[in-house]
Amino acid sequence: MSAVNTVTLPLQVGSESGARRAPRRVLPGFKLTLGYTLFYLSVIVLIPLSALIFKTFTLTWDQFVTAVSSPRVVASYRLTFGASLIAASVNAVFGLLVAWVLVRYSFPGKKIIDALVDLPFALPTAVAGISLTALLASNGWIGSILEPYGIQLAFNPNGVVIALIFIGLPFVVRTVQPVLEDAEKELEEAATCLGATRLQTFWHVIFPTIAPALLTGFAMAFARAIGEYGSVIFIAGNMPMISEITPLIIIGKLEQYDYAGATAVAVVLLIISFILLLVINALQAWQRRRSGGTSQ
Amino acid sequence: MSNTRTVRRAQAGTTEPTWVKWTLLTIALAFIFLFLVLPLAAVFTEALRKGWGAAFEALKEPDAWSAIRLTLITASIAVPLNLVFGIAAAWSIAKYEFRGKAFLTTLVDLPFSVSPVVAGLIYVLMFGAQGWIGPWLQAHDIKIVFAIPGIVLATIFVTFPFIARELIPLMQAQGTDEEQAAIVLGATGWQTFWYVTLPNIKWGLVYGVILCNARAMGEFGAVSVVSGHIRGQTNTIPLHVEILYNEYQSVAAFAVASLLALLALVTLVIKQVVEWRFEREQKAAAALPPERPMVQAPATA
C-alpha cells in the first residue's frame, strides 16, 4: 500500500501551475477510489498472475527449458507466431482499406457496414469458430467451391490464419478510422497544388499521418491473435506438430495434470504478451505525439 | 457562388479517379462480406437446416437451460463488479495527478493482453487441488475451480478493463471543473458524483457495460479451463455449444450458438445507438453559448 502514501504529496508535480493546486484537492474520494482500484486489481489480476510466476520458480531451469522447448511446443510457437503475423498483416492491409472506404466514400448501407466491423468483438469466439468451420469445411458454402481446385482451408494451418484474420479485423479499422477522419484535407490539397499525383499524395502525405495508428492496430491484432483460443481450435484440426496452437498445448498439458509444464509454456506466452503491451503503449504514445504535432 | 467552384476544384485533387474508387470499394465490401457477413449468416442457416422445430428442440433441452442460467448468473455478477471497479479506477486516474498513474493505467489494461487460456490457468494454480490455497479450500469443503466461483472469477478477469478503459479517457477529457464547482457550491462527494459526473459519463458507461456483458456471456477460453465441463452444472452457453458440436449435433450446436449471435447483434445495435446519442449530445453541448453551464446539455437532448 505504499502507493497510497503518495497521496499526502500528490501535487508536487512540477508541470502543474501553482494556481490550480488548491482546487485539485477539493475533490473528495481519492483515497477511497484509488484504494479500491488497487485492492480489486490485486485480488483479480496481480495475485493470481503472481501465482503463475511463483509456480514457475518451483521448476528447475532444466525442467523449464525442457518444457518450453520440446519439438511439439516449438512447432506450436512457429504456427502461433507465423499465423498471427500473416493474419495481422492481412488485417493491416484490408483494415486500412475498409477504414479508408468508410471515411472517404459514401455508399448505401455504409452505416450498417460500419457497425458490422465490430462483429468480431461482439460475437463469442466459439461461435465464430464453428461458423467459420462450417463455411470452410469441404461441404460448406466456401469449402465446396474451393474443393475441386484442391484448396483446403479448414482443419489445417490455413484455417488458423483465417480465424485469426476474423478476430483481429476490428483492431486496425478502429485505430486507423479516427485518425483518417481527423486528417486535414488541406494538406492533401496543398500536395495536389504542388503537383503531386494522387498516389504520391497518399504515400508522402496521408500514409505518414496514419502510419502510427496502422502500426498500433497491427500490433493489437497480432497480440490478440497470439493468445486466441476459442475461434481457432474448431477450425485448426489440432494435429500435433502441424496445426496445434500454443494455448492448446497449455490445455493439453493441464488435461494430463502436467501443471508445471502448462505453467512454463504459459509464462512464455505471458512474457510475450507483456512485451507486446509495452510496444503497443509506446506506439500509442508516438501516435498521440504525431497527431498532436500535425493538427497544430 | 464562385466560392463553391474553388472548393469543388480543390476537392478534385483530394479524391481518387472513379475507377480507383469503385475498385477499392468493391474489394473492401467483398472482404467484409466474406469475413463478416457470411460467418454470421452461416450460424443462422446451419441452425435452421432441419427447420425451426429442430432448432427449438435444442433450446428446450434442460442442459441448454442450465447453461443459459449459468451464463446469466455469471454475467450478472461479473458486470456489476467490473462496473464499480471501472468507475473507481476512472475517478482516481482521471481526476487526480499522482505518481505511477501511467503504470496503473497499463496494469488496468493488462488482462486484455493475457491469453484467455493463461487467464484460466492462473485461477487453477491458485485455487486448484495442487494450488496455493487449494488444500485449505478442500479442507473447508469450498469449491472454486471446476465450479461456478471459478467461472465467475475467470469471467471477471477477461472483462476486467472494459468499463474502466471506456471511462478513463472520457473523464480525462471532461476535466474536473464541473465537479469543483459543485463542491464549492456545497455539494457532498456523492451528490457531485450523482448529479454532475454521472450524467456526463452515462453514455460511456452504457457503452462499456454492453461490451463487457457481451464478452462476459461469450467468453470461452478462460471459462473452459476452469469449468471442468460438467454437463448441466458448470457449462456456460459457449461451452454447451462446444460439447454439442463435438458430439456432431451440428443443428443443436448452431441453434444454441445463434442465441449468442443474436446477443452479438443486439450488442452492436445498442452500441450504435449509444454512439449516435453521444455524438448528438456533444454537438448540442458545443452549440450552447459558453456562459451556459454544460451540465444542462444532457437534460435537454
DSSP annotation string for A184-237: -HHHHHHHHHTT--HHHHIIIIIHHHHHHHHHHHHHHHHHHHHH--HHHHHHH-
Contact with chain A for residue B150, Cβ under 8 A: no
Residue of B nearest to A201 (CA): B14
Taking the CA of residue B131 and the nearest CA in chain A, the distance in Å comes to 8
Q: Which among A213, A37, A67, A273 is positioned nearest to B163, based on CA atoms?
A: A37
Residue of A nearest to B216 (CA): A124
Cβ-based contacts of B31 with chain A (< 8 Å): 94, 97-98
What are A163-186's pLDDT values in tens digits? 999 999 999 999 999 999 988 888
Cell of A120: 468480431
Other C-beta atoms lying within 10 Å of the C-beta of residue B33: 13
Exposure string (b/e) for B149-178, b if CB count within 10 Å is 16 or more? bbbbbbbbbbbbbbbbbbbbebbeebebeb
Name B162's Cβ contacts closer than 8 Å, sequence gap at least 6.
Answer: B82, B86, B208, B211, B212, B215
Contact between B14 and A11 using a beta-carbon 8 Å cutoff: no
Contact between B115 and A126 using a beta-carbon 8 Å cutoff: no
Cβ-based contacts of B228 with chain A (< 8 Å): none
Contact between A134 and B42 using a beta-carbon 8 Å cutoff: yes
Contact between B113 and A123 using a beta-carbon 8 Å cutoff: no
Q: Is pLDDT at A144 greater than 50 in this prediction? A: yes
Contact between A125 and B221 using a beta-carbon 8 Å cutoff: yes
Q: Is pLDDT at A244 greater than 90 in this prediction? A: yes
Q: Which among A55, A130, A77, A111 is positioned nearest to A244, based on CA atoms?
A: A77
Q: Which among B219, B235, B101 is positioned nearest to B160, based on CA atoms?
A: B219
What are A2-14's pLDDT values in tens digits? 333 333 333 334 4
Provide the pLDDT for residue B266: 95
Mutation choice for A interface testing from B220, B236, B251 by most A CBs within 10 A: B220
| Alpha carbons B103 and B80: distance in angstroms, whole number | 25
Provide the pLDDT for residue B2: 46
Beta-carbon pairs below 8 A across chains A and B: 306
User: Which residue in B14, B111, B132 is closest to A188 by CB distance?
Assistant: B14
Mutation choice for B interface testing from A16, A45, A54 by most B CBs within 10 A: A45
Exposure string (b/e) for B106-143, b if CB count within 10 Å is 16 or more? ebbbbbbbbbbbbbbbbbbbbbbeebbebeebeeeeee
Provide the pLDDT for residue A58: 87
What are A26-58's pLDDT values in tens digits? 688 888 999 999 999 999 999 999 989 888 888
pLDDT band at A294 (very low <50, low <70, confident <90, very high): very low
Cβ-based contacts of A142 with chain B (< 8 Å): 34, 38
Other C-beta atoms lying within 10 Å of the C-beta of residue B13: 17
Provide the pLDDT for residue B12: 56
Query: At residue B117, what is the residue type?
Result: V
| Alpha carbons B55 and B42: distance in angstroms, whole number | 14
Taking the CA of residue A119 and the nearest CA in chain B, the distance in Å comes to 7
Provide the pLDDT for residue A268: 93
Residue of B nearest to A99 (CA): B28
Mutation choice for B interface testing from A38, A127, A206 by most B CBs within 10 A: A127
Provide the pLDDT for residue B290: 65
Taking the CA of residue B120 and the nearest CA in chain A, the distance in Å comes to 10
Contact with chain A for residue B14, Cβ under 8 A: yes
Write the burial class of residue A284 (CB in 10 Å: 0-12 exposed, 13-18 middle, 19+ buried): middle
User: Which residue in B211, B220, B263 is closest to A230 by CB distance?
Assistant: B220
Please give chain B's pLDDT, 301 residues, in tens.
445 555 555 455 567 788 889 999 999 999 999 999 999 999 999 999 998 988 888 888 899 999 999 999 999 999 999 999 999 999 999 988 889 898 999 899 899 889 999 999 999 999 988 778 888 888 888 888 888 999 999 999 999 999 999 999 999 988 888 888 998 898 888 899 999 999 999 999 999 999 999 999 999 999 999 987 777 778 999 999 999 999 999 999 999 999 999 999 999 999 999 999 988 888 888 887 765 555 544 444 3
The residue with cell 437451460 is B65
Provide the pLDDT for residue B3: 52
DSSP three-state, residue B279? helix
Contact with chain A for residue B242, Cβ under 8 A: yes
Tally of helices (H runs) and strands (E runs) in chain A: 17, 0
Q: Is pLDDT at A214 greater than 90 in this prediction? A: yes
The continuous run of DSSP H or E covering B9 comes out as: helix B2-13
Cβ-based contacts of A229 with chain B (< 8 Å): 115-117, 220-221, 224
Concatenated DSSP letters of B122-153: HHHHHHSTTSSSHHHHHHTT---TTSHHHHHH
Task: Out of A150-154, A217-221, B58-62, give the one with best mean pLDDT.
Answer: A217-221
Taking the CA of residue B255 and the nearest CA in chain A, the distance in Å comes to 11
Contact between B257 and A188 using a beta-carbon 8 Å cutoff: no
Q: Is pLDDT at A224 greater than 90 in this prediction? A: yes
Provide the pLDDT for residue A14: 40
Contact between A122 and B38 using a beta-carbon 8 Å cutoff: no
pLDDT band at A266 (very low <50, low <70, confident <90, very high): very high
Contact with chain A for residue B101, Cβ under 8 A: no
User: Which residue in B97, B106, B130 is closest to A259 by CB distance?
Assistant: B130
What are A63-115's pLDDT values in tens digits? 899 989 999 999 999 999 999 999 999 999 999 999 999 999 999 999 999 99
Name A133's Cβ contacts closer than 8 Å, sequence gap at least 6.
Answer: A140, A154, A159, A234, A235
Q: Are A176 and A95 in contact (CB under 8 A)?
A: yes
Q: Are A131 and B40 in contact (CB under 8 A)?
A: yes
In chain A, what percentage of residues exceed pLDDT 70? 89
